[in-house]
Amino acid sequence: MPEGRRLAFVGAGAVATGPAVPGPVRRPAWDHLGLRTGVGVGVEDGRIALLAPDEEIGEWFHAARLPDALVDCGGRLITPGLVDPHTHALFGGPRLEDHARRARGDDYKAIAAAGGGILSSVADFRSRREDDLVTLALPRLAMMAALGTTAVEIKSGYGLSVADELKALRAIARLRAHVPLEIVATFLGAHEVPADYRSRRDAYVRLVIDEMLPAVARERLATFCDVFCEPGVFDLDQSEAILKAAAARGLKLKVHADELDPFGGAELAARLGAASADHLGAISPAGIEALSASTTAAVLLPGTLLFLGKSRQAPARALLDAGAVVALATDFNPGSSPSANLPLMMTLAVSQARMQPEEAFIAATVNAAHAVRLGDGRGRLVVGGSADLVVWNCRDVRELAYWYGMPLAWRVYASGSPCLGGGWGISSAGSAGTVLSPPMS
Ligand SMILES: [Zn+2]
């Protein structure tokens, strides 16, 4: 937003600031939501300048050199913008046939044999130009923002060659110039072994370590390095070798761990001090113990297992009760989770994984920010922090995980710039803001 511009939000039914102190939350409780009534939010130059009684906010706004917008929230709820710490949002086309085949009972091997699966996304990705990929990603990010997400991690991993992985990360870097969202880039060259390396997997690991990682580090294209650590993809030794090489080049670490088998990925992530271990559908008791004794976030992706038709979910209850830092993400990708709806993941966390609504809220805000090591007050509303906030078409925090699949965001701001309701992205015409008014409750 332009310098000196002031925005003010008054008339909120409640403001949930999140916890007063920085850092992840273990064993989230209602108090961590930081619920306040009778207060509003003042924003100047993209940062939160004031959290104060409405009257004070009004006076402060009208004293501005450049008053921009005074938003009457009409009794709605204000929260921090949501943080989606695990997506594969840069991809080519959807995989519609895979979805239909799964419904006919085909497993992933049959789907791959029929020309589908992740390698079809790789072939599609390689055939596209960087410009095309940027163009495809923009409306998806607009959709994501319209649902309340203001910061998002995006992984490479459909290139699987030096040139195509760099193409992915350069495209992700270019997205930042187009959207006000905070974007965190992750290098996932070890997402899968490409077809031409299937008979020499170690050679592909060497390609990742010796050629991809140095190029990614040289161009400073990624904050994180991630590895798909699963039986038949990258084993524990290969994963560790890649992650250690990434750490030596200054990248922070993430691990796709224990999705379908208890493979030891969570323990590896904790031992290497990774920022997060993600999926964890089949995490072992030892893995739960390792994560709870570490600062490695457990990032759960309940939409993925649901979309794949699995009846099982990650043991969220055991992780939370053991004191692990639990976060939620969409895993937005064309194969196993074609949804960018993080509030929907909050619903699934409650209804499928037995999390409490306040636990789901913390998992999609402050703990999600921790999982991608975002500072600057992200995932919380704090004076001096980035003005990432959502005004919701509801009054109670528990409603975010309740009206499932519904577009509940009424106004969304990232770094003080509007993402929904008269700004960038999806226009307010036809948005939740005009359809659902007044609030749902
Ligand atoms: Zn993933």
Ligand 1: distance of its center to the CA of 288 in Å? 20
Ligand 1 geometric centre to CA of 86 (Å)? 6
d(CA 265, CA 243): 12
Is pLDDT at 120 greater than 80 in this prediction? yes
140 burial type by CB count under 10 A (0-12 exposed, 13-18 middle, 19+ buried) = middle
Mean pLDDT of the 303-322 span: 96
Q: Output the CA 276–ligand 1 centroid distance in Å.
A: 12
CA nearest 88: which of 192, 210, 17, 216? 192
User: Which residues, including other chains, have CB under 8 Å from residue 201's CB and lie 6 or more apart?
Assistant: 193, 238
440 to each of 33, 214, 353, how far by Cα in Å? 21, 51, 25
- Rounded distance from Cα 390 to ligand 1 centre (Å): 26
pLDDT in tens, 175-188: 999 999 999 999 99
Residue 431 pLDDT > 80: no
CA of 87 relative to ligand 1 center, distance in Å: 6
pLDDT category at 68 given cuts 50, 70, 90 is confident
CA gap 147, 425 in Å, rounded: 11
Give the separation between CA 377 and CA 375, rounded to whole angstroms: 5
The predicted structure's pLDDT at residue 429: 39
- HSE, side-chain direction, 13 A CA sphere, residue 47: 10
421 pLDDT band, cuts 50/70/90, is low
Residues belonging to the chain: 441
Tokens 């710039």, residue located = 417
Give kind and range of the element (H or E) at residue 249. Answer: none
What is the H or E stretch that residue 201 is in?
Answer: helix 201-207
The model's confidence at residue 64, banded by pLDDT at 50, 70 and 90, is confident
Q: Which residue did the predictor score with more confidence, 45 or 422?
A: 45
For ligand 1, the distance from its centroid to the CA atom of residue 189, given in whole angstroms, is 12
Q: Is the pLDDT of residue 242 over 60?
A: yes
Residue 301 Cα to ligand 1 midpoint, Å, equals 9
* Tens digits of residue pLDDT in 378-407: 999 999 999 999 999 999 999 999 999 999
* Confidence bin at 4 (pLDDT 50/70/90): confident
CB of 76 closer than 8 Å to CB of 441: no
pLDDT-derived band of residue 430, with 50, 70 and 90 as boundaries?
very low
Tell me what pLDDT residue 1 has.
53
Contact 306, 349 (CB under 8 A): no
**What are the start-end ranges of the E strands in 194-275?**
224-229, 252-257
Query: Is the per-residue pLDDT at 295 higher than 80?
Result: yes
- Whether 371 and 275 have beta carbons less than 8 Å apart is answered as yes
State the distance from the centre of ligand 1 to the C-alpha of 188, rounded, in angstroms: 9
Instruction: State yes or no: pLDDT of 437 exceeds 80.
Output: no
State if pTM tops 0.75: yes
In sequence order, what are the residues at sequence separation of 6 or more whose Cβ sits closer than 8 angstroms to the Cβ of residue 78?
9, 12, 14, 15, 16, 41, 381, 389, 390, 391, 392
- The whole-number pLDDT of residue 433 equals 40
Coil, helix or strand for 92? coil
The pLDDT, as a whole number, for residue 428 is 43
pLDDT value of residue 55: 97
Q: Is pLDDT above 90 for 426?
A: no
Question: How far, in Å, is the centroid of ligand 1 from the Cα of 255?
Answer: 9
Q: Bigger pLDDT: 375 or 279?
A: 279
Tell me the C-alpha distance between 303 and 339, whole Å: 8
Separation CA 263–CA 343 (nearest Å):
30
Q: State what percent of residues in the chain have pLDDT above 90.
A: 90
- pLDDT, residue 386, reads 97
Answer whether residue 371 shows pLDDT above 70: yes
In sequence order, what E strands does 218-324 have?
224-229, 252-257, 276-279, 297-300
Cα(328) to ligand 1 centroid in Å equals 12
- The 8-class DSSP code of residue 195 comes to G
Identify the sign of the CA torsion 100, 106, 112, 115: negative
Q: Angle, nearest 10°, between helix axes 162-178 and 130-146? A: 50
Ligand 1 geometric centre to CA of 323 (Å): 24
The yes-or-no verdict on residue 354 having pLDDT over 50 is yes
pLDDT band at 438 (very low <50, low <70, confident <90, very high): low
d(CA 402, CA 441): 12
330 C-alpha vs ligand 1 centroid, how far in Å?
9
88, 133 in Cβ contact below 8 A?
no
Looking at the predicted structure, is the pLDDT value of residue 422 above 60? no
Cα(235) to ligand 1 centroid in Å equals 16
Q: How many angstroms separate the alpha carbon of residue 314 from the centre of ligand 1?
A: 14
